[in-house]
C-alpha cells in the first residue's frame, strides 16, 4: 500500500471561479491545509472532454440525480420528474455549456487524505446550503432553484473528485504523467516526519 501522504486528487476551478478572480484564494486554501500542488494548467475544455469527465464514473448519473431529488424533498419543492437518470441527462447538457464557456484551471493536489480534505474545504454541491467556512459557502450564492429556473448548471466555482478511485481516473483524464511533478516541499517535514530530527541547531 502507498503511504497516505502520496494520495492525489483532481481539482478544477470552473469558469465562474476564474471569472470571479478566485484562483489565488482557492489555491491558498489548499496550500494552507498542507496539501502540495503537483500539476496545474489553464485550458478551455472541449464538450467531449467534459462529457467524458462526468461519465467516467458509471454511478455519477444516478448519484447526482438522487442528490437533486433529496434536496427537493428537504425544501418541499416539486420536480418535473424524480427519475435520477432523466434529471442528470438534462444536467449534463447544461453542465457542458457551463464548463466550456471559458478557461478553467485544472490542478492535481497531493497529501494525506487529499480527496476527502479537498471535498471538505470545497463544501457541498449547492452553494446555498454549503457550510460557512467552505469555499462554496463563503464565495458564492447559487441554488438548485435558480439553476432550474434559468435552465442552467449550478455555478459552484470548483470541481473536486468524489473518491480516491475517481481521483485516479480523473487525473488520467486531465493530465499526462509528464505534466505531474514529483518534488519535496520543506513543509512536508513538519507534517509527515516521524522523528522531527534536524530542527534544533
Name the pairing type of β-strands 158-160 and 36-43: unpaired
Task: Enumerate residues 6+ apart whose C-beta is below 8 A from 27.
Answer: 37, 107
Distances (CA, A) of 72 to 64, 86, 148: 13, 15, 11
Distances (CA, A) of 183 to 38, 39, 187: 8, 11, 12
- CB 53, min distance to ligand AMP, A: 10
β-partners of residue 37 are 109
Task: Enumerate residues 6+ apart whose C-beta is below 8 A from 178.
Answer: none
Q: Are 79 and 87 in contact (CB under 8 A)?
A: yes
Among 115, 156, 161, 167, binds ligand AMP (CB under 6 A): 156
Task: Tell me how far apart the 2 most distant CA atoms of the chain are, in Å.
Answer: 68
* Structure-block grid coordinates of residue 29: 486554501
Interacting residues with ligand AMP between 61 and 120 (CB under 6 A): 64, 68, 91, 95
**Contact status: 161 vs ligand AMP (CB under 6 A):** no
# of chain residues touching ligand AMP (CB under 6 A): 10
**Contact status: 35 vs ligand AMP (CB under 6 A):** no
- CB 198, min distance to ligand AMP, A: 42
**Contact status: 147 vs ligand AMP (CB under 6 A):** yes
Nearer to ligand AMP, 107 or 153 (CB): 153
Interacting residues with ligand AMP between 115 and 144 (CB under 6 A): 125, 144
- Of 3, 49, 113, 159, the catalytic one is 159
The 3 state secondary structure assigned to 142-169 is CCHHHHHHCCCCCCCCEEECCCHHHHHH
| Site stretch for ligand AMP (CB under 6 A), options 15-23, 43-51, 153-161, 169-177 | 153-161
| Site stretch for ligand AMP (CB under 6 A), options 23-31, 151-159, 165-173, 185-193 | 151-159
Nearer to ligand AMP, 38 or 91 (CB): 91
49 is catalytic: no
Contact residues toward ligand AMP (CB under 6 A) are 64, 68, 91, 95, 125, 144, 147, 153-154, 156
Supply the residues annotated as catalytic: 159
Amino acid at each position: 500500500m502507498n503511504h497516505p501522504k502520496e494520495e492525489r486528487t483532481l481539482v478544477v476551478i470552473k469558469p465562474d471561479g476564474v471569472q470571479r478572480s478566485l484562483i489565488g484564494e482557492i489555491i491558498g486554501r489548499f496550500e494552507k491545509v498542507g496539501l502540495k500542488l503537483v500539476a496545474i494548467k489553464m485550458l478551455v475544455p472541449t464538450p467531449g472532454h467534459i462529457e467524458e469527465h462526468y461519465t467516467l464514473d458509471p454511478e455519477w448519473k444516478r448519484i447526482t440525480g438522487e442528490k437533486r431529488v433529496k434536496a427537493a424533498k428537504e425544501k418541499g419543492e416539486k420536480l418535473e420528474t424524480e427519475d435520477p437518470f432523466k434529471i442528470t441527462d438534462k444536467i449534463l447538457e447544461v453542465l457542458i455549456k457551463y464548463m466550456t464557456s471559458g478557461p478553467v484551471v485544472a490542478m492535481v493536489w497531493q497529501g494525506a487524505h487529499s480527496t476527502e480534505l479537498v471535498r471538505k474545504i470545497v463544501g457541498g454541491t449547492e452553494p446555498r446550503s454549503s457550510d460557512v467556512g467552505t469555499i462554496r459557502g463563503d464565495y458564492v450564492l447559487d441554488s438548485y432553484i435558480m439553476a432550474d429556473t434559468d435552465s442552467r448548471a449550478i455555478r459552484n466555482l470548483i470541481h473536486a473528485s468524489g473518491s480516491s478511485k475517481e481521483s485516479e481516473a480523473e487525473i488520467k483524464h486531465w493530465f499526462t504523467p509528464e505534466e505531474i511533478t514529483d518534488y519535496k516541499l520543506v513543509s512536508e517535514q513538519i507534517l509527515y516526519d516521524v522523528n522531527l530530527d534536524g530542527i534544533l541547531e
